Amino acid sequence: MDRDVSGPQAYFLRTEDGHFMPTRHVGGAWNLAEQHVAPAMGLLIDAIESDHAARRTDRLQVARLSYDIWGTIPMEAVSIDVTVLRPGRTIELVEARLCHGGRPAILLRAWLTQAYDSAGIAAVRFPAMPPPDAMPAWSPSSLWPGGFIASVEVRRAQEQPGRARCWVRSPLALLHGEAVSETARTMGLVDIANGLTPLVSPAEVAFPNLDLTAHFFRQPKGEWIGLDISVSGGALGIGLTHSILHDADGPVGAISQSLTIRP
């Protein structure tokens, strides 16, 4: 995959006043003057995890992440505020808001839960995916413009439009010079699922997602993120992209994206 390596090899830079400045790698697919929301989603869970680590030593794990996309984000600095909505010893509900110019753009609510030893009843009923090296390389830039799309490597086995298995990875850091969790790194990429096997070309129909909800039964790990994707669309302008989320060891959870379909 060809990539211009000039400039920071990261999606965001933290500024001296605590804001986050997007690099050219965050450029959106629907509009080049706007941010792709995927990296911002990674920033939001990183902010929640950082706040959590600063507040307590008994770390909880991520069970659910629910993002609502309130509006578009220009290629300018953003801020994040974190609020604990429901504190608790074994369960917390935490909210993070990403804002531009004081206007909310993405709201994340995360359920964090205590770990218990449930190995004796652990089970996975989702089918496995072929590994990345068993799938052909595919360039999403053949379908989409933008810096974010150009920054990722994709392997894709498509059955038909709206149905595909894909692996995605990126060599870029989420935050320049800063380490983030594998969950944050994963969530900084998975919004791409809506564009990997669309029902129709984005040149013909717009189908941006209004949200993204992720449920985990274990935390993801490794550089490759697997997406077993199914896209459905109704007759009145509503659609759904649903993906089973994988890492190299198998399924880890699921994500869903509600679409507004605009012919």
pLDDT digits (tens, 9 = 90+) for 178-215: 999 999 999 999 999 999 999 999 999 999 999 999 99
Q: Considering the domain delimited by 10-115+129-260, tell me its CATH architecture.
A: Beta Barrel (2.40)
Coil, strand or helix: which one is 216?
strand
Judge contact between 42 and 184, C-beta under 8 A.
yes
Residue 3 has pLDDT above 70, yes or no: no
What's the pLDDT tens digit per position in 97-142? 999 999 999 999 999 999 999 999 999 999 999 999 999 999 999 9
Quickly state the pLDDT bin for 7 (edges 50, 70, 90).
confident
Structural Rg of the chain based on CA atoms: 18
Quickly state the pLDDT bin for 6 (edges 50, 70, 90).
low
Q: How high is the pLDDT of residue 1?
A: 43
Residue 36 has pLDDT above 60, yes or no: yes
Instruction: Kindly list the domain boundaries of the chain, sorted by start residue.
Output: 10-115+129-260
Structure tokens at 133: 């090296």
* Cβ within 8 Å of residue 218, ≥6 positions away: 252, 253
**Strand order across the 173-175 sheet:** 20-22, 10-14, 173-175
Q: How high is the pLDDT of residue 155?
A: 98
Structure tokens at 92: 């917390």
